[in-house]
């Protein structure tokens, strides 16, 4: 059995997830890449070393069956999971609490909160075995009040999941890190945002956290784009 560590990433087909997969592959990780888009996952698999180094799993994080199978396949292929990056998430639509599409709310809440909870629950047994690392994609939006934003509310919930998991796991050897980016230029947005972070910037934060020695637990990393330079 290989000594290479194994990192599992949900929402791995694009954006922050794909950038983190590339960064981790460079650091010698074997990868379990999960998302709904199988075509994009297969392209990443070919790019990052093929089937010996990268397992791809179609996974809708809202499905308990999918998440259970994701972990089962990861352990069958690699025998261990050393780190889990619960990264899958989605944004909402304008309209605030007064006029937003409630079906969008429902899908977003199930993805951003319930889906994260399922990932944590199903991955924890393997992380207990490895004394591994749990990382969650929160958001700067989960630290501030944004008028009418259900998305912000879901990211407050992710922060709460991270804090609660850390307390539950205290003394287990498992480290828990909240990754909290500001605006990131990803497919999350229909139009390219100005003055945004790049996915690689967030991947660098993830790799910083996992690269620390076992006695160092990086609890949170809040990373925002540098404010635009004002004309003098």
Helices H, strands E: what count in the chain?
A: 8, 7
Beta strands in 51-106 (DSSP E): 54-58, 83-86
Nearest partner of 72 among 116, 162, 8, judged by Cα:
8
Residue of 29, 114, 151, 208 with catalytic role: 151
Element (H, E) at 164: helix 150-168
Catalytic site includes residue 151: yes
Q: Please, are residues 142 and 155 in contact by the beta-carbon 8 Å criterion?
A: yes
Tokens of 8: 């599992």
How many beta carbons lie within 10 A of that of residue 221, not counting itself?
18
Three-state SS at 34: strand
Q: What is the dihedral of CA 66, 71, 75, 80, to 10 degrees?
A: 160
The residues that are catalytic are: 151
């Amino acid at each position: 059995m290989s000594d290479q560590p194994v990192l599992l990433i949900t929402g791995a087909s694009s954006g922050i997830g794909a950038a983190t997969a590339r960064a981790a592959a460079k650091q010698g990780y074997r990868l379990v890449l999960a998302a709904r888009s199988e075509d994009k996952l297969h392209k990443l698999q070919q790019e990052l070393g093929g089937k010996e180094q990268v397992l791809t799993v179609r996974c809708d994080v809202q499905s308990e069956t999918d998440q259970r199978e994701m972990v089962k396949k990861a352990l069958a292929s690699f025998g261990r999971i050393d780190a889990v990056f619960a990264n899958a998430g989605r944004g909402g639509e304008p309209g605030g609490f007064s006029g937003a599409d409630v079906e969008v709310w429902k899908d977003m809440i199930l993805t951003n909160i319930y889906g994260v909870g399922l990932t944590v629950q199903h991955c924890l047994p393997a992380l207990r075995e490895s004394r591994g690392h749990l990382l969650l994609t929160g958001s700067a939006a989960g630290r501030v009040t944004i008028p009418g934003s259900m998305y912000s509310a879901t990211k407050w919930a992710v922060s709460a999941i991270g804090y609660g998991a850390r307390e539950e796991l205290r003394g287990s050897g498992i480290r828990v890190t909240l990754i909290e980016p500001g605006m990131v230029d990803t497919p999350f947005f229909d139009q390219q945002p100005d003055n945004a972070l790049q996915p690689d910037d967030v991947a660098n934060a993830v790799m910083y956290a996992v690269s620390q020695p076992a006695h160092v637990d990086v609890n949170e990393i809040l990373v925002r784009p540098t404010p635009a330079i004002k004309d003098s």
